[in-house]
Amino acid sequence: MGRRSEILRRATEVFERQGVTQTSVEDIAKAVGIKREAIYYYFKGRQEILAEIILPQSHSLLVNLRNIVHSNRPFADKLHDAIRGHLQSFNPGYLEMTVALREDHFLGADKKFGELRRVWNDYSNLWAELVEQGQKAGEFRAGPKPKLVAFAILGMCNWLSRWFDPSKDISIDEIVETYFGFALHGLAAPDLDIKTPDQWTPDQ
């Protein structure tokens, strides 16, 4: 592992352990085993290190989702692949995804954070496009706003950054199938006759 890669890896571990705002360049240097000044030979500072950690994973997610959305497969298959692509990025990229999603990093002035904002905005728009196309094709239920549905699915998936541990006995594959089933069918049993809120009467 080259020095630059080592700095990024150790910084990711420190960011995940104690949070970005609580991490200094000195903390990163100690984790690598070098002097603080040596960090600045490779990076301008903490913000650039953070951007370098998040950007590759973000670009990979965007490219993968774009290929899924623009494929000719059934929309249920697209939804499954989109959820799987997003969740599989947590393993082996658990630390990178955790650092990317646990805190709001996208307000930095560095131009790389501008790039991050564009990537994640394009990513969420693609999710909304997937839902909207499925609705127009009659494969997804019409009515809910595509962007609202997209944010709901992403919120559910991104919460893994708060609890997922790849060393535990629950696998990404199990989480993918659980989340996919929930996103596609909801919680209601298939044969259960449940009234929607607009069907309720005042005494119910």
- Structure confidence by residue, pLDDT tens digits, 13-65: 888 888 787 889 999 999 999 999 999 999 988 888 888 888 888 899 999 99
The residue to which tokens 């393993």 are assigned: 91
A 10 A CB-CB count for 185 gives 11
**Nearest alpha-carbon partner for 120 in 53, 47, 69, 62:** 62
Which of the two residues, 67 and 103, has the higher pLDDT score?
67
Alpha-carbon gap, residue 123 to 64, rounded angstroms: 10
The pLDDT tens digits for 63-100 are 999 999 999 999 999 999 999 999 988 765 556 666 66
pLDDT of residue 200: 45
Residue 203 lies in a domain: no
Residues 72 and 133 in one domain: yes
Residues 166 and 140 in one domain: yes
pLDDT of residue 201: 52
A 10 A CB-CB count for 140 gives 21
Which of the two residues, 204 and 97, has the higher pLDDT score?
97
For residue 193, what are its two tokens?
A: 């006759």
Residues 7 and 82 in one domain: no
pLDDT of residue 1: 64
**DSSP assignment letter at 161:** H
Alpha-carbon gap, residue 48 to 19, rounded angstroms: 16
